[in-house]
Amino acid sequence: MTLLSRLLMPHWPSIYGFALGLIAANLGGRIASNVWGEGTAVGDLVGVYTFGAMAAVAVAAGIWWGVRRRRQEITGELLVIFLIATLFAVLINPLIARVDYPDLQGVFSQIPIYFALLAVSGWVGFLIVMALGVDRYGRELKATRIAFERKASPSRKAAAAKA
């Protein structure tokens, strides 16, 4: 498998879409915070809404992958995207939004916060899928249980024919 075919796998457009959603939510929040004032109450409220929007996108990503992929595939794909989106949001979005670029201490304090937010939110999304039983493992368990129930209990027609 070549690198290009690996980069263009069928499910990767949705991964790119979620990464762009995370980056766009952060960029929109940075621009709005710059417009309404970074130190004001409105600017702080915009920051909270931005954080919530990024968490909502990560929860949606966890739900999206939880329904479609196995747990082992989800972890490797989502954590890489969350790391890339975190680095983009901390290192590049301030330049695009023309806000004050954080100093070294600010960069190293924002990276774990953003990454933890995205990782925990993605995990919560996957837990929602698991609790509803619509993840791949839950569907396999349900199909196995139904197959065993059919095998264990004879059908009504067979029971009526014997009587």
Q: How far apart are CA 111 and CA 22, in angstroms?
A: 14
Q: Strands, E, within 27-128: which ranges?
A: none
pTM for the whole structure = 0.76
pLDDT at residue 124, rounded to an integer: 93
pLDDT in tens, the chain (163 residues): 566 565 556 666 677 888 888 888 888 888 888 888 777 788 778 888 888 998 999 899 888 888 887 777 777 777 888 888 888 888 888 888 887 777 888 888 889 998 999 999 989 998 899 888 887 777 777 878 777 777 777 665 555 556 5
At residue 97, the pLDDT reads: 83
| Cα(99)–Cα(93) distance, integer angstroms | 9
Q: Count Cβ atoms below 10 Å from residue 103 Cβ, excluding itself.
A: 9
> Measured between alpha carbons, how far is 98 from 58 in angstroms, rounded to an integer?
25
Structure confidence at residue 46 (pLDDT) = 85
Contact present, 129 and 135 (Cβ < 8 Å): yes
